[in-house]
Chains A and B, each alone.
Chain A
Amino acid sequence: MRTISFDAVIVGGGGAGMRAALQLAQSGYKTAVISKVFPTRSHTVSAQGGITCAIASADPDDDWRWHMYDTVKGSDYIGDQDAIEYMCSVGPEAIFELEHMGLPFSRTEEGRIYQRPFGGQSKSFGEGGQAARTCAAADRTGHALLHTLYQNNIKNETVFFNEWFAVDLVKNQDGAVVGVIAICIETGETVYVKSKATVFATGGAGRIYASTTNAHINTGDGMGMALRAGVPAQDMEMWQFHPTGIYGAGTLVTEGCRGEGGYLINKDGERFMERYAPNAKDLAGRDVVARSMVMEILEGRGCGPNGDHVKLKLDHLGEEVLESRLPGICELSRTFAHVDPVKEPIPVVPTCHYMMGGIPTNIHGQALNVDADGNDAVIPGLYACGEAACVSVHGANRLGGNSLLDLVVFGRASGLFIEKSLREGIELRNASQTDIDAANTRLQALNDREKGESVAPLRHELQEIMQNHFGVFRTGDFMREGIAKLASLRERVDSVVLADTSSAFNTSRIECLELQNLFETAEATAIVAEARDESRGAHARDDFTERDDENWLCHSLYHSGGKRVSKRGVNFTPNTVETFQPKARSY
């Protein structure tokens, strides 16, 4: 097997990966991005409504501390306050950098960046009413951001390995991460990509659910690789169900629709969020809105012949507003719901959207484990940022517009930190042939296997289990049933067989490897969801309906060895502001 060496290798060509890559490319260190798709095909491209940040355009008095307050509250108090402080305070600088790079933000009459209201936003620490803090490029902010980052990586001559797939981590005898095994999809060649710093910017894993806003490619590859390498996963029970996925298709309709004045109605045409969140109404936290929608459906006020969805009303905003501020939504709605939002409401249903959990990291992107005494221990050589990481700025529920900020801020922070570390010198022992072979075991086994089940039905079965047993509302008994089903599925997934053994552009091989990553992610989710016997943020249990701060004001950690769950403390000590103390969360 050929070895290619870099100072830093970034796995994933989405927003986080390309922001990290840009930082490192500018530093002059030998950097490569491995992306299983051409970078602009990454899922960041689908982000619509915007990037939340206190740049004080819509409101000259806006303050990043208010954004911090909202984010801590939105997280249901298990977001790390030092990380949230860092994100919200550094955010404006990161946004202005993007604008200077050329990102075509929408504009105000003053020529500044246009900001729209999004859910969970407030002024004056929740006392000053709704804020408008989400910077937008119409409703194509993710597209504009991803293309801008790709363009600037071209400018800085970043090395891209496009349509290469990372299979597994290579660890040396000290347990340090020293690169990855990767396949060139076009030729099928497998190489060892050696690196002093390996950054996972592999995105989410929404495809563990049958119904998701996520792209086909969101298969938790980083999570799978990390868990197989003994890296823990944090807060994996926390999955965001976006209130407005198009009914039937699952495609996303931005929260910006409600920010611009749209609202949800039930079959009686009632604006039901007024009952659940009298103040914020349709702009309450996403977890709150999603649960309210499901309650409406369960109580028989859903729309359609099966009463299984609600509707998003936009027509009162007028054609001009819709076509100028929400053109992409009009397009998606016409294509996937066969509904023209200018004339009639869009059928929507809560749909799996975002993985709040991920690889635990500090604010420099360094991946963390915990030692025997429960203290954080940096995993040498491994970094993570973006949705794959859990730094944790989203805690139990992410606010809309915070994911793009997360990936830009922490992609950048990882790049900055790695650059500094490389300058100071990173000494890691070389991997031995045995180490490399160990990392190649899974791929080798797949290539050698002659009998087993094919990938598509196994994936379907996995997605159905997760959809049915680990959805918006969860109960212990039902989750335990789901865990048992997963346990029996594991062996079958482990022995998935290739439908196609050729080398050239073998997507069948990639799908098998992805399925195993999905499975690792799903299993972690299931086991931790059952363990957290409380309701917090996106994790809502019918059998434990209250938040339990005494036992669960903490992160969960899932350890794949022994399928063990442990707890990790939340950071309550920001550097420049007072701690935001947990209180009852209402909107």
Chain B
Amino acid sequence: MLNVSLYRYNPETDNAPYMQDFTVDTGDRDLMVLDVLELIKAEYDGSVTYRRSCREGVCGSDGLNMNGKNGLACITPLSESVKGGKLVIRPLPGLPVIRDLVVDMSLFYAQYEKVQPYLQNPTPAPAIERLQSPEERAQLDGLYECILCACCSTSCPSFWWNPDRFVGPAGLLQAYRFLADSRDTATEERLAKLDDPFSVFRCHGIQNCVNVCPKGLNPTKAIGHIRGMLLNRAT
């Protein structure tokens, strides 16, 4: 049996959030945390609310805070998350809670959109693909794989403090994904948009983002590259 403590909040009926405890029969299997939530919803309380889709760590729906650490519920096994026989599940920190484990991600998405996360190249496209060498393409590895789960940005104190002005690790990872793309020609415009005290420079290199990224990506490193580009631009 597993003791699970869930963050509950229904805006229609609850004045304040509370923690609800469940004793879940896992049959001693090393389930994923998402399986435990599915079990609770199916067999214990159908009103428990969370997001989920692919259940294999690629869609980014089920970013949650499990025993204090952000991660994807569907690829986090109990053996890695349960401490002292207990699992405490909370919504991602720092964003408004809509209900139970579901957070309002509007600010997170707004920061993503702010970096113009799409290829910009006004030169007429050739009749076939634009050529790119394997080395140039390799510059995008570790960047394009982001699944927008928000585990990183919601573990970042700078983002908690300035979610409207600091782009945050996820948005900046994508900003660099396009800065690093040999096919993109908007480098100067992109850098100009980021060149203020908040958008990039609020990153203090705490590296929580790196520690929690379920895809093993390194936003801090990408931010370092942008920082370097901005400093070069200034001189």
Contacts and interface: CB of A to CB of B under 8 A. Distances in A.
A215 interface: yes
Contacts of A108: 134
Given A100-B129, A215-B54, A456-B41, A504 B98 contact: yes
A332 to B, nearest CB: 6
Contact of A40 (B59, B102, B129, B136): B59
B118 A111 contact: no
Given A154-B118, A499-B47, A99 B129 contact: yes
Contacts of A503: 12
B53 A112 contact: no
Nearest to A249: B56
A217 B75 CA distance: 17
Contacts of B130: 99-100
A336 interface: yes
Interface in B137-191: 137, 140, 144-145, 147-148, 178, 181, 183-184
A143 B147 contact: yes
Contacts of B118: 101-102, 148, 151-152, 154-155
B53 A505 contact: no
Contact of B105 (A38, A147, A216): A38
B128 A96 contact: yes
A151 B10 CA distance: 33
Nearest to B144: A104
B93 to A, nearest CB: 19
B1 interface: no
B125 interface: yes
Nearest to B105: A38
Interface string B29-53: 0000000000001110111011111
Specify the main secondary structure of chain B where it touches its partner.
loop
B127 interface: yes
Contacts of B105: 38
A182 B102 CA distance: 20
B46 A500 contact: yes
B218 interface: no
Given A45-B59, A186-B98, A504-B99, A102 B134 contact: no
Question: Which of B50, B117, B128, B178: most chain A Cβ within 10 A?
Answer: B128
A378 B164 CA distance: 49
Nearest to B45: A499
B113 interface: yes
A110 B132 CA distance: 8
Contacts of A152: 118
A111 B138 CA distance: 12
A112 B131 CA distance: 6
A111 B183 CA distance: 12
A217 B55 CA distance: 10
B48 to A, nearest CB: 9
A104 to B, nearest CB: 5
A354 to B, nearest CB: 15
B235 interface: no
Given A106-B137, A112-B131, A41 B59 contact: yes
A454 interface: yes
A40 B60 contact: yes
B75 A110 contact: no
Nearest to B145: A140
Contacts of A109: 133-134
B129 A215 contact: no
Contacts of B133: 107, 109, 111
A154 B131 contact: no
B11 interface: yes
Contacts of A99: 129-130
A154 B178 CA distance: 15
Interface string A26-48: 00000000000110111101100
B54 A112 contact: no
B117 A43 contact: no
A328 B125 CA distance: 31
Contact of A456 (B43, B98, B102, B117): B43
Given A96-B128, A99-B129, A456-B42, A46 B54 contact: yes
A252 B57 CA distance: 12
A40 B10 contact: no
A164 interface: no
B58 interface: yes
A106 B145 CA distance: 13
A268 to B, nearest CB: 30
A144 interface: yes
Interface in A71-121: 95-96, 99-102, 104-113
A45 B58 contact: yes
B138 to A, nearest CB: 9
Contacts of A251: 55-56
A336 B59 CA distance: 16
Contacts of A144: 144
Given A41-B61, A109-B134, A104 B53 contact: no
Given A46-B54, A100-B125, A106-B137, A502 B144 contact: no
A102 B184 CA distance: 8
A483 B23 CA distance: 38
A108 B144 CA distance: 18
A494 B120 CA distance: 50
B220 to A, nearest CB: 21
Interface in A490-547: 498-500, 502-508
Nearest to B61: A41
A93 to B, nearest CB: 9
Contacts of A151: 117-119
A504 B55 contact: no
Given A40-B60, A96-B128, A111-B132, A454 B75 contact: no
Nearest to B183: A102
Nearest to A143: B58
A455 B46 contact: yes
Given A41-B53, A500-B47, A113 B59 contact: no
Given A38-B109, A112-B129, A328-B58, 14 more contacts: A45-B59, A105-B137, A106-B137, A107-B137, A111-B131, A111-B133, A151-B117, A154-B117, A335-B56, A454-B46, A498-B46, A499-B46, A500-B46, A505-B102
What are the 5 tightest A-B residue pairs by CB atom distance, in nearest-first order? A499-B46, A102-B119, A111-B131, A456-B42, A500-B47
Interface of A: 37-38, 40-43, 45-46, 55, 95-96, 99-102, 104-113, 137, 140, 143-144, 147-148, 151-152, 154-155, 186, 215-217, 249, 251-252, 328, 331-332, 335-336, 454-457, 498-500, 502-508
